[in-house]
Structure formats: C-alpha cells, structure tokens
C-alpha cells in the first residue's frame, strides 16, 4: 500500500529551483566531530545475533563508529554516557517507509495540490519523528524528496534516519505506481517519473532513477490498495518487464523491492529475482517455497492493518483494503512458520510516522520469538539493504544505538518506548527527551 503522491508524483521544479538559488559555497559546513572517545553504559544490552542479554555493557565509540564493546580497559579521558536502567539495542531499521507523506482525507488530491517542496517539509518532520522513535535507518520510497533528505542527513543538516532511497517507483501506465483517478492529460507520467512499459522503457526508467540517486529500485509488480485502479491483486508488470528491471538494476549493484499483493505477481517478481516482496498479502505455499529457495526477503508491513484509517479513504480504495486485510495476516503467520527470511518494514505514512515499532509486537504474536523479531529490524533489514556497517552493536560498526526500558526479550512492546537514540555517535534523545 502506497500513498500515491509520495511514490509516483514528481514535481521536480520546486526543489530544483531552490537548489539553484543556493550556491554550494553557502551551505553551512559542520565542524568535524570531536575525537574524544565516548563510553556508553547501561544496565543491559541485547546481542541480537545470539539473542542473549548482556549485563552492564560498556561500548566505546569514537566519532561515528563503535571501536570496542566491553574492552578490558576503558580509554582514558573518555566522556561517559550512562543511559541507566535500560536495554541497549542496535538502531532499528525500517525497510519500507514513505517519509514524504501521510494518508488523510485529501490524499487523492495531493498530486495536484502539493509539490515536492511540500513533500520535503513533510519528510523533514516525519524523519525527525521516525529517528526519535529509534529508527536510525530507513529504506524510503518517496521520490526525489527523500533522495535529498538522505543527503541532508549525511551532511548533519537535519535530524532524520539514514535513508536508502528508491526515488520514483516503477510501474505500468494506470497502475499502482502511476497517478490514477484523473482525466486524460492531468499529470501524465513517463519513464523519468517511473511509469514505464515494456522491457526497454523499464531499463530506461531504472537508469534514470539510479542517475538521480536511487539506491534501490521500487516497483509495483501488482495493483495496490491506495490507488484508483482495478482488482488489488492483479499482476501489473509482466515477468519480462520485471526481469529486465532486475537485470539492469543488478548491473549497477542495485536491488529491486517489489510491492506485490496478488499471488501471480508475487511469483513473477520472485522468479525475476527481486530482493524483497513488500506486503505479500496473497502469498501461497508455492510462493513461500520459492522465497525460501532463492532467499527472497518478505517485508510484511502488517501493523498498518490495525492502524489504517479506512474512514478517510475513497469508497473504491476502502473496498480494496477490506478485500486484502482479512487474508494478509494469515499468510504472514504461514511465512513465519515456514522460516521465510523476513525484514522489518511498515509502510509508515499509511499510519502515523513514529509508530513503526508496533510492527515488532505483531511478528511475535504471529509466532516469532522476541529475538527473531528484533533481528528482522536490525541484522535482517541491514542485510536486505546491503548495509554491512550496521544492524549489530560491534566494533567497526556505525554507532547507531537505541535503548528501551525493561527487557525487550520478555516484552517486545518495550521497543515502542525508545528512551535513548544515538545515530552515527551523536546523541539525539536521552532520558526519553529529544536533545537535538
Ligand atoms: Zn508502501
């Protein structure tokens, strides 16, 4: 499920104009990070790899990196941060967000009432909310807005998760990744916007997204809920189009994430070699077996089922949601039982940003152990995103660390109450309060 404006609408003029008014030399340069080592202590830490609780961890951080965990001697002159009676965890990773928007009663009109400049301000606010909720990295499907937000985060200009952006999602004319519901001539989209038909146009679209900052290609393999087109499960891209997309992306070292609800579209995407199936509402046993065989990740986005506000949706969209919701969770339960590789992803934007961690609790209700659930949002998501510098608290990794009260191995819902956030060695939240 995808808010249509955030994924497929591209009104690049606004941001490009602003960028043009702002010469590079005027962009404020942040001072280099202090080199004084930091020792982060707390009552507990979860080693997410083993699923074990570690008592009294002491993590030594220099700049943006972890240099050691529980060394025999601590560095002299280090600044000590005592997070107190909390449990440290690696910063959470959400593999499916839409920071540039949030659904609401005007959702259907956003493509013609807002520009990417509006989207950028939404994204700045939603990014801050998301990182303060403990999500230090997201894979975001939000057009050029979140490509730019990701750069701003790395410059240190804004408080937001690190971003792996897709730029514009690829889809067929009239499909879930197109802008639908308007008269002919209104916001007609092409390959640069992500709307591409036939293998060669798809290749063109992939190249253009990557040229302009995509670090992952997102595609709509099937129809979706939050758009005006036909049956929600209908396959939209052919196998040949999906294969051309995956092959071209792979030549650039980029993976493909496929939004897919219907069974046939899910299977075509898996066969074509996508890295992840998003939503996967109508997974059947054969699709589950195919995913296991190929190591395809499943990104369930299941919390939204409890949280989506059906009342604000147009009747045609509401009807589609009501078709898909009753089946999706049972298929996820099956996938968990079958040990399909699962990476944490929420579709935040379909529900209010910052509630992402509620997804963990549902995985546990559907059969995962709390440690397995924590791995989906740390090591597994890092693996899917191709980021080997995060997802665990270990020497050499990025100092992206969060803390929750209590013990998340006993009560996974503690992840919904993040009290401490460190991102790239910088403390963003302490004792439950933002410090930036
Ligand atoms: Zn989505």
Going by C-alpha positions, the residue among 154, 125, 54 that lies closest to residue 426 is: 154
Confidence bin at 74 (pLDDT 50/70/90):
very high
Question: Could you tell me the distance, in angstroms and rounded to a whole number, from the CA of residue 240 to the centre of ligand 1?
Answer: 23
Question: Could you tell me the distance, in angstroms and rounded to a whole number, from the CA of residue 158 to the centre of ligand 1?
Answer: 23
Question: Could you tell me the distance, in angstroms and rounded to a whole number, from the CA of residue 369 to the centre of ligand 1?
Answer: 26
The reported pTM is 0.91
Question: What is the model's pLDDT at position 364?
Answer: 98
pLDDT of 28 > 50? The answer is no
Question: Could you tell me the distance, in angstroms and rounded to a whole number, from the CA of residue 190 to the centre of ligand 1?
Answer: 20
Going by C-alpha positions, the residue among 178, 139, 167, 148 that lies closest to residue 276 is: 139
Question: Could you tell me the distance, in angstroms and rounded to a whole number, from the CA of residue 413 to the centre of ligand 1?
Answer: 23
Question: Could you tell me the distance, in angstroms and rounded to a whole number, from the CA of residue 96 to the centre of ligand 1?
Answer: 6
For residue 89, give both structure tokens.
């965890």
Question: What is the model's pLDDT at position 10?
Answer: 30
Q: How far apart are CA 394 and CA 47, in angstroms?
A: 9
Question: Could you tell me the distance, in angstroms and rounded to a whole number, from the CA of residue 1 to the centre of ligand 1?
Answer: 5
H-helix or E-strand spanning residue 427: strand 426-430
Question: Could you tell me the distance, in angstroms and rounded to a whole number, from the CA of residue 141 to the centre of ligand 1?
Answer: 7
Confidence bin at 331 (pLDDT 50/70/90):
very high
Confidence bin at 103 (pLDDT 50/70/90):
confident
Name which of 34-38, 89-93, 341-345 the model is least confident about. Answer: 34-38
Question: Could you tell me the distance, in angstroms and rounded to a whole number, from the CA of residue 355 to the centre of ligand 1?
Answer: 15
Q: How far apart are CA 6 and CA 144, in angstroms?
A: 9
Question: What is the model's pLDDT at position 189?
Answer: 95
Question: Could you tell me the distance, in angstroms and rounded to a whole number, from the CA of residue 252 to the centre of ligand 1?
Answer: 23
Question: Could you tell me the distance, in angstroms and rounded to a whole number, from the CA of residue 99 to the centre of ligand 1?
Answer: 10
Question: Could you tell me the distance, in angstroms and rounded to a whole number, from the CA of residue 203 to the centre of ligand 1?
Answer: 22
* 3 state SS of 308: coil
Question: Could you tell me the distance, in angstroms and rounded to a whole number, from the CA of residue 41 to the centre of ligand 1?
Answer: 37
pLDDT of 236 > 80? The answer is yes
Angle subtended at Cα 150 by Cα 296 and Cα 266, rounded to the nearest 5 degrees: 20
Average pLDDT over residues 211-226: 94
End-to-end CA distance of the chain: 32
Question: Could you tell me the distance, in angstroms and rounded to a whole number, from the CA of residue 321 to the centre of ligand 1?
Answer: 14
Q: How far are the Cα atoms of 104, 187, 259, 264, 265 from residue 174, in angstroms, in the given order?
A: 22, 11, 15, 19, 16
Question: Could you tell me the distance, in angstroms and rounded to a whole number, from the CA of residue 97 to the centre of ligand 1?
Answer: 6
Question: Could you tell me the distance, in angstroms and rounded to a whole number, from the CA of residue 57 to the centre of ligand 1?
Answer: 37
Question: Could you tell me the distance, in angstroms and rounded to a whole number, from the CA of residue 184 to the centre of ligand 1?
Answer: 25
Q: What percent of the chain has pLDDT over 70?
A: 92
Question: Could you tell me the distance, in angstroms and rounded to a whole number, from the CA of residue 302 to the centre of ligand 1?
Answer: 11
| Phi-psi group of 158: left, alpha or beta (phi > 0 → left; psi -120 to 50 → alpha; rest → beta) | beta
Question: What is the model's pLDDT at position 316?
Answer: 82
* Mean pLDDT for all residues in the chain: 91
Q: What percent of the chain has pLDDT over 90?
A: 81
Question: Could you tell me the distance, in angstroms and rounded to a whole number, from the CA of residue 6 to the centre of ligand 1?
Answer: 9
Task: Give the bridge partners for 60, in sequence order.
Answer: 39, 68
Question: Could you tell me the distance, in angstroms and rounded to a whole number, from the CA of residue 277 to the centre of ligand 1?
Answer: 11
Phi then psi for residue 341, to 5 deg, are -70, 125
Residue entry with tokens 């949280």: 307
Question: Residues 387, 164: contact at Cβ < 8 Å?
Answer: yes
Question: Could you tell me the distance, in angstroms and rounded to a whole number, from the CA of residue 159 to the centre of ligand 1?
Answer: 22
Question: Could you tell me the distance, in angstroms and rounded to a whole number, from the CA of residue 98 to the centre of ligand 1?
Answer: 7
Question: What is the model's pLDDT at position 34?
Answer: 55
pLDDT of 18 > 50? The answer is no
Question: What is the model's pLDDT at position 16?
Answer: 30
Confidence bin at 317 (pLDDT 50/70/90):
confident
pLDDT of 384 > 70? The answer is yes
Contacts of 209 (CB under 8 A, 6+ apart): 166, 167, 168, 170, 194, 217
Please write the tens of the pLDDT for every residue from 386-431. Answer: 999 999 999 999 999 999 999 999 999 999 999 999 999 999 999 9
Question: Could you tell me the distance, in angstroms and rounded to a whole number, from the CA of residue 347 to the centre of ligand 1?
Answer: 4
pLDDT of 286 > 80? The answer is yes
Question: Could you tell me the distance, in angstroms and rounded to a whole number, from the CA of residue 35 to the centre of ligand 1?
Answer: 39
Question: What is the model's pLDDT at position 30?
Answer: 53
Q: Mind listing the domains of the chain with CATH numbers? A: 4-18+92-385 (3.20.20.140), 38-90+394-434 (2.30.40.10)
Question: What is the model's pLDDT at position 412?
Answer: 98
Question: Residues 6, 116: contact at Cβ < 8 Å?
Answer: no
Name which of 155-159, 304-308, 337-341 the model is least confident about. Answer: 304-308
Question: Could you tell me the distance, in angstroms and rounded to a whole number, from the CA of residue 260 to the centre of ligand 1?
Answer: 10
Confidence bin at 23 (pLDDT 50/70/90):
very low
Question: Could you tell me the distance, in angstroms and rounded to a whole number, from the CA of residue 406 to the centre of ligand 1?
Answer: 31
Question: Could you tell me the distance, in angstroms and rounded to a whole number, from the CA of residue 301 to the centre of ligand 1?
Answer: 8
Phi then psi for residue 190, to 5 deg, are -130, -170
Residue 322 neighbours by CB distance under 10 Å: 13
Q: Are strands 162-165 and 216-220 parallel, antiparallel or unpaired?
A: unpaired
Question: Could you tell me the distance, in angstroms and rounded to a whole number, from the CA of residue 354 to the centre of ligand 1?
Answer: 15
Question: What is the model's pLDDT at position 260?
Answer: 96
Phi then psi for residue 299, to 5 deg, are -115, 100
Confidence bin at 46 (pLDDT 50/70/90):
very high
Please write the tens of the pLDDT for every residue from 163-185. Answer: 999 999 999 999 999 998 899 99
Question: Could you tell me the distance, in angstroms and rounded to a whole number, from the CA of residue 101 to the centre of ligand 1?
Answer: 11
Confidence bin at 232 (pLDDT 50/70/90):
confident
Question: Residues 398, 64: contact at Cβ < 8 Å?
Answer: yes
């Amino acid at each position: 499920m995808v808010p249509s404006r955030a994924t497929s609408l591209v009104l690049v003029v606004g941001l490009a104009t602003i960028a043009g008014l702002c010469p590079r030399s005027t962009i404020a340069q942040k001072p280099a990070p202090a080199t004084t080592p930091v020792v982060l202590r707390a009552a507990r830490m979860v080693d997410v790899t083993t699923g074990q609780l570690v008592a009294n961890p002491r993590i030594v951080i220099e700049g943006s990196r972890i240099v050691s965990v529980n060394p025999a001697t601590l560095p002299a002159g280090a600044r000590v941060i005592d997070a107190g009676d909390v449990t440290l965890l690696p910063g959470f990773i959400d593999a499916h967000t839409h920071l540039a928007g949030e659904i609401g009663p005007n959702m259907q009109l956003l493509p013609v009432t807002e520009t990417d400049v509006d989207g950028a301000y939404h994204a700045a606010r939603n990014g801050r909310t998301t990182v303060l909720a403990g999500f230090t990295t997201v894979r975001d499907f939000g057009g050029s807005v979140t490509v730019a937000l990701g750069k701003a985060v790395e410059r240190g200009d804004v408080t937001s998760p690190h971003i792996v952006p897709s730029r514009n999602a690829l889809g067929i004319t009239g499909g879930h990744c197109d802008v639908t519901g308007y008269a002919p001539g209104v916001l007609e989209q092409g390959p640069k916007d992500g709307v591409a038909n036939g293998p060669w146009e798809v290749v063109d679209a992939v190249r253009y997204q990557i040229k302009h900052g995509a670090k992952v290609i997102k595609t709509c393999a099937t129809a979706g809920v939050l758009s005006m087109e036909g049956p929600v499960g209908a396959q939209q891209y052919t196998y040949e189009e999906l294969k051309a997309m995956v092959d071209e992306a792979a030549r650039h070292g980029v993976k493909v994430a496929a939004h897919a609800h219907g069974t046939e579209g899910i299977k075509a995407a898996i066969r074509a070699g996508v890295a992840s199936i998003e939503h996967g509402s109508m997974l059947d046993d054969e699709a589950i077996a195919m995913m296991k065989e190929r190591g395809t990740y499943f990104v369930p986005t299941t919390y939204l089922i409890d949280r989506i506000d059906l009342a604000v949706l147009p009747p045609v969209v509401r009807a589609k949601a009501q078709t898909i919701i009753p089946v999706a969770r049972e298929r996820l339960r099956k996938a968990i039982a079958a040990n399909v590789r699962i990476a944490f992803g929420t579709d935040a934007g379909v529900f209010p940003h910052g509630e992402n961690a509620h997804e963990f609790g549902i995985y546990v209700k559907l059969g995962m152990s709390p440690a397995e659930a924590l791995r989906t949002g740390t090591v597994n998501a890092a693996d899917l995103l191709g980021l080997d510098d995060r997802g665990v608290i270990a020497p050499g990794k990025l100092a992206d660390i969060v803390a929750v009260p209590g013990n998340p191995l006993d009560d996974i819902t503690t992840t919904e109450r993040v009290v401490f956030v460190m991102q790239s060695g910088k403390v963003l939240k302490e004792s439950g309060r933002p410090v930036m």
